[in-house]
A and B are shown apart, each in its own frame.
Chain A
């Protein structure tokens, strides 16, 4: 298996533009996480899906952020409109079970908003 695949790896965009980050989880995994990593805040959980259903979205910063998981093999994280403070590395992770098992991380998307 190729692991968790995130695209793009790097994204530079201007303030106010819409940004869409993509994630393909490992086949057969039924939990999916989106995280944001910054120097100041560390690794923050944004949203957690189980069986394509959002279970915990309390970490989503504000209405500018939205996440979807239309099927078991694809998820998106959208920021509209983007702001410079959204600059961070965004990670997607997937897990085969609920809780007991290891989560596997993608390589991340480095987002820079100028």
Chain B
């Protein structure tokens, strides 16, 4: 079945450091790929998405590229801020209403 694997956390970085959170997937067909962010005490918010191979999703300085050849959708940001501290979830959308989530990666950014 479809699945998403993302790197274990927590990830601790200093402010202005470069961020990469790895995400790989297994799916039949051509899923859409998403990154969600969860701030403390809140629900999940869509951060970015990509709907086909080689698409790059971007938002708030974060980027991820849909790589079909490596079945990956790694999240990157060039310079993290304390306010980016949160849990990040990689997800795939299979069909019109089915979503599979990774286990989440907690990011802590230190001032």
A and B part of one assembly: no
Which B residues form the contact surface with A (CB < 8 A)? Answer: none
